[in-house]
Amino acid sequence: MFRYGMVGGGPNAFIGDVHRTAIRMNNDCKLVAATFSRNYEKTLDFGKQLYIEKDRLYKDYATMAAEEAKREDGIDFVVCVTPNISHFEVCKAFLENGINVVCDKPLTWTSKQSEELVRIQKEKGLLFGVTYTYTGFPAVKEMQNLVRTGEIGKIRFVNAEYPQGWLSEPIDENSKLAPWRMDPKISGATNCLGDIGTHIENLVSFVTGLKIKRVSARLDSLVEGRTLDDNASVMIDYEGGAKGIYWSSQIAQGYDNAVRIRVFGEKGSLEWVQEDPDHFIFTTNDCAKRIVSRGRDAFCDEAQKYSRIPAGHQEGIYEAFANIYKAFTTALATKDFDEKDAEYPTSEMGLEGVKYVEACLKSSRADSTWVEIK
């Protein structure tokens, strides 16, 4: 069993619990150290509930990084699930102490920070995963495979979207809906684009292999009194001539977490929506539209090995997270530190995501002028 620690993810943090639960599903890691909160009492209380030894519940992440690095039975990796603002400092501290990292997305506020993290990681020869969840689904992996093996031909156009409706009404300070999301001091210069728009960028990149050349973006704050964006439209030019359009929104009533990707190539197309994660639609010119089903239809080995239960029983977000951790611990076990064929999203993908956000912000501020991504 691997040993891992967690920074952030206290009792009311939804995503921390998802990480821990997903990891337990795999049954190959044990949570042994944590700094759940800036409030030490809270960390102690919550750590006790999670059966963590008291001496491995830390006052702050810096102490934790230093102490765990010293222990013979120190953690094999840390999971960073703090608000976006502190990702950089937390990850940096653990990397510098020689500890592998898994961090939530978006990786950092600035691409410069992400570049620094990548640099340190490479110097130290460590693993660094970024939990872009949607790449963990077997159906998504199989779509990547169909693109790679040429089943839909050279890609021409991508239409991808991530509509949510939960921020369609103003949220007040007492709302259970995390108000920090709308606080530029915590969330950075973007809310919707950074939170869910980046999932689109990563998902499309993963499935298609396309590199973004330039973006023309318009970020909107459509709910009165809101300063950060709650809706974003982006036109994309990819290298090689393909085109795309991305839309993310948090004011789209009727939608919950409806990430949808549609890829059109010379020979066919692919379509997947996260709310029905076990199926995707595959259309080619020589066959009727197919609904491909995980567990029933043949997937390539790289996708099939992440399929856990028989067809017809939906695998959801826990399984997707668990698959990312499975890939990460497999790399840990095999000491695959170059991450060349990593089956989890790497820090370099995290860096791409931050560059994408920066370019979109720049474009939007310049009235949607095209901005190149280098």
**What residues between 154 and 213 interact with a copy of itself by CB under 8 A?**
156-157, 159, 161, 164-166, 168-169
Ramachandran angles phi, psi of 163, nearest 5°: -90, 135
Which range of residues in 85-93, 184-192, 312-320, 351-359 is near a copy of itself by CB under 8 A?
Answer: 312-320
Number of Cβ within 10 Å of residue 44's Cβ equals 18
Nearer to a copy of itself (CB atom), residue 26 or residue 110: 26
b/e per residue, 1-12, with b = 16+ CB within 10 A? ebbbbbbbbbee
- State whether residue 265 is helix, strand or coil: strand
Number of residues that bind a copy of itself (CB under 8 A): 78
* Beta-bridge partner residues of 129: 102, 346
Q: State which amino acid sits at residue 154.
A: K
- 229-248: contacts with a copy of itself (CB under 8 A): 231, 233, 235, 243, 245, 247
- 85-124: contacts with a copy of itself (CB under 8 A): none
Which range of residues in 98-106, 187-195, 263-271, 328-336 is near a copy of itself by CB under 8 A?
Answer: 263-271
Distance CA 221, CA 241 (A): 31
Distance CA 98, CA 93 (A): 9
Distance CA 131, CA 91 (A): 14
Nearer to a copy of itself (CB atom), residue 130 or residue 371: 371
Q: How far is the CB of 197 from a copy of itself (least distance, A)?
A: 13
Q: Is 295 in the site for a copy of itself (CB under 8 A)?
A: yes
Q: How far is the CB of 116 from a copy of itself (least distance, A)?
A: 32
Nearer to a copy of itself (CB atom), residue 161 or residue 352: 161
Q: How far is the CB of 217 from a copy of itself (least distance, A)?
A: 9
Helices 198-208 & 138-148, crossing angle to 10 degrees? 50
Among 47, 74, 268, 350, binds a copy of itself (CB under 8 A): 268
Among 253, 333, 365, 372, binds a copy of itself (CB under 8 A): 253
CA dihedral 275, 277, 279, 285 (to 10 degrees): 80
Q: Which residues contact 57 (CB under 8 A, 6 or more apart)?
A: 33, 34, 35, 36, 43, 44, 47
- State whether residue 50 is helix, strand or coil: coil
Nearer to a copy of itself (CB atom), residue 94 or residue 356: 356
Q: How far is the CB of 322 from a copy of itself (least distance, A)?
A: 9
Find where tokens 């800036």 sit.
Answer: 38
Which range of residues in 33-41, 98-106, 278-286, 336-344 is near a copy of itself by CB under 8 A?
Answer: 278-286
Nearer to a copy of itself (CB atom), residue 83 or residue 295: 295
Q: Is 222 in the site for a copy of itself (CB under 8 A)?
A: yes
Ramachandran angles phi, psi of 142, nearest 5°: -70, -35
- 338-367: contacts with a copy of itself (CB under 8 A): 367
